[in-house]
Amino acid sequence: MRVISWNVNGLRACVKKGFHEFLESCGADVLCLQEVRALPEQLDEKTRNPAGWHTAFFPAVRKGYAGVAIYSREKPTRVLTRLPEDEFNVEGRFIVAKFGRLSIASVYYPKGSGNARDNSRVPYKLAFYQSVYRALEKLRATGPTYVAGDFNTAHTEIDLARPKGNMKTSGFLPEERQELTRWLDNGWTDVFRKQHPNEPGHYTWWRQWGGA
């Protein structure tokens, strides 16, 4: 099974840049999307229900914000979208598609920086991490579980281009990184680092300014 994760930064805009062409050529069995930024009814029919795919969406209450989705070739036996805390559910950040015993999650973890870049959302971010961890630990007890998503945190210095300059920046704070360590300490596997241990220069996001 091939699973792809993609923060599309707005699915409606992504459609104009070749989303459907990618969907048909990527060879994925499951495509996990983050930052969909649209209600299902705001999407055109081809995007909402593309031929040959089953889709599940969990949007934020606030329009044009966050939202996650899962596209799959096989119809899920069940779709889960809610965490115990409503403060997380209103932001549309968590969805799980179950295929028998197998669970595949698409998760859009929040940034901790806040609008004023004062790290004011770090407590919310950490609480979200912990809620997701508890939910997926329960699923893992019932069968294989795969977590895809935008974690909004670099785990170790090798995962960040300028670690020394970001020690006090949300996305690389010790308490955020510890939440990722928790997964590994309890038997989860970082699939990418398992295949590419100690390899520098692998990043998933670059600034659009500053010569990135």
Q: Model pTM?
A: 0.95
Domain assignment present for residue 53? The answer is yes
56: left (phi over 0), alpha (psi -120 to 50) or beta: beta
Domain assignment present for residue 193? The answer is no
Catalytic center residues: 150
Q: How many domains does the chain divide into?
A: 1
The CATH number of the domain holding residue 94 is: 3.60.10.10
CA count, 13 A, side-chain hemisphere, 92: 23
* 90's tokens: 């209103």
Domain, as residue range, for 183 = 3-188
Domain assignment present for residue 116? The answer is yes
b/e per residue, 25-63, with b = 16+ CB within 10 A?
A: eeebebbbbbbbbbebeebeeebeeeeebbbbbbbbeee
Domain assignment present for residue 206? The answer is no
Render each residue's pLDDT in the chain as its tens digit; 212 residues: 999 999 999 999 999 999 999 999 999 999 999 999 999 999 999 999 999 999 999 999 999 999 999 999 999 999 999 999 999 999 999 999 999 999 999 999 999 998 888 999 999 999 999 999 999 999 999 999 999 999 999 999 999 999 999 999 999 999 999 999 999 999 999 999 999 999 999 988 877 665 55
Instruction: Give me the residue label for tokens 């840049």.
Output: 17
Domain assignment present for residue 157? The answer is yes
Domain assignment present for residue 207? The answer is no
Domain assignment present for residue 52? The answer is yes
Domain assignment present for residue 205? The answer is no
How many whole angstroms separate alpha carbon 103 and alpha carbon 142?
9
* 69's tokens: 């989705």
